[in-house]
Amino acid sequence: MQDADLPDMQIDRAQPLRDQVYGVLRRLILTGGLLPGAAVDEKAIAGQLKVSRTPVHEALKKLADEHLVTIRAQSRTTVALLDRLEIEQAHVIRRALESEAAHRAAGLVTETWLNRLADIQLLHAAALERGAYVDAIGHDDAFHRAVTDISGYPMLWRAIEISKAQLDRCRHAMIPLEGRGAATLTEHAAIIDALRRHDATASRAAMCSHLDRAYGKTLDYLDSVLAEPAT
């Protein structure tokens, strides 16, 4: 791993080092800064971040638990390859949790929350317009987290965030594709409309439709990637 692979990062010595290292490495993996199969050098990371190897080792162990890196004893650590079964499982978990959240949110949503969702839509559209795709996915996640928060189940989002990491790796590669961002905004608008009507059945259906369409595109992308000859 070269110095250019890690962004400038100010380590806050008053905060847990493992969590900070974990955050920066996880973001690099999800956004494609570290590609599937890339070597992850524990010693080099520690040197670049000016920390001991212990928090780096702990961060990599946590990433391995999420199947984002592969640690081989007495060998090297690498970014995990994309795996179709893991991506399928991630979709199943996300769909189950978010559809339930949307169903419950329909009965609890307020005008304040609806305005919040509309504001996120505007920020999302603006990010897409200027080609800021990492920001766009951040706003996409903010939308889904807001629906989960409306449901009154605060623990749901953490479970969703961990499970969807495998999907996120594909999302960051796919979002520049023509039409994908616009389709997401349209599907989010349908979810907002169902919530505004306090229609629990329609809210669940709109969320499921949105996630299923995104998953279909993910499989298309994954098939094209896995079909590419090794270089």
Q: Where residue 59 sits, what CATH number does that domain have?
A: 1.10.10.10
Residue that is last in its domain, among 79, 109, 125: 79
Residue that is last in its domain, among 79, 99, 123: 79
Q: What is the pLDDT of residues 102-157, one digit of tens each?
A: 999 999 999 999 999 999 999 999 999 999 998 999 999 999 999 999 999 989 99
Residue that is last in its domain, among 25, 53, 79: 79
Residues 96 and 25 in one domain: no
CB proximity list for 14: less than 8 A, separation 6 or greater = none
Expressed in angstroms, the distance from the first to the final Cα of the chain is: 19
- Exposed, middle or buried, 14 (CB in 10 Å: 0-12/13-18/19+)? exposed
Q: How far apart are CA 101 and CA 144, in angstroms?
A: 9
Residues 128 and 28 in one domain: no
Residues 103 and 209 in one domain: yes
Instruction: Mean pLDDT check: name the lowest of 34-38, 87-91, 171-175, 184-188.
Output: 171-175
The structure tokens 């973001």 sit at 27
Residues 27 and 109 in one domain: no
Residues 39 and 141 in one domain: no
E-only strand ranges, 74-145:
77-79
H/E element holding 93?
A: helix 84-105
